[in-house]
Structure formats: C-alpha cells, structure tokens
Amino acid sequence: MNRNVLINIALVPLSCAALLAGPAAAQSPQTHQHSFGDAERWARVFDDPKRDAWQKPHEVIQALALKPDAVI
C-alpha cells in the first residue's frame, strides 16, 4: 500500500476521536463549605469516641477484605 494511504487510514479515526471527545463538562460548584478555623472544636469532634458508632471503622476494614500483607 502507498505510504500516504496508510497515514490517512491512521489519521482519519484519530481525527474523528478527537472531534467527538469535545470539551469536558463543567464541574458543579461545591455544596459543602467547612471552615476549620476553630481547630479545638474539630479536634473534639474527630477525637470523640462516639464517632466510631456512626463511622464504623471496624466494619469498613472488614468489608474491604484486605489481605494481612496488604499495603495501604
């Protein structure tokens, strides 16, 4: 086959793919605004032992079914 034909065969699908890709959709604005200005308050929230009751860290780790030698 002619070299130009091979180049055209390669370029046509690539050009079509580039045209179809188009620009990415705009991201939606953030809906959660958290201010960590009061660090002492947030330290109490994050260190609260009752936090485990609703976050269930043990159940999360179990659901991940990690192998003992897994590196996270």
41-50 tens-digit pLDDT: 989 998 999 9
Mean per-residue pLDDT of the chain: 83
What pTM was estimated for this model as a whole? 0.40
Structural domain contains residue 34: no
Structural domain contains residue 10: no
pLDDT of residue 1: 62
pLDDT of residue 24: 67
Structural domain contains residue 31: no
Asked if residues 43 and 37 have their Cβ atoms less than 8 Å apart, the reply is: no
Q: What span, in angstroms and rounded, lies between the C-alpha atoms of 66 and 72?
A: 9
Angle (nearest 5°) at CA 60 between 44 and 33: 45
Number of domains in the chain: 1
Structural domain contains residue 70: yes
Domain that holds residue 48: 40-72
Structural domain contains residue 28: no
Structural domain contains residue 48: yes
| 3 Rama class: left (phi>0) / alpha (psi -120 to 50) / beta | alpha
Structural domain contains residue 69: yes
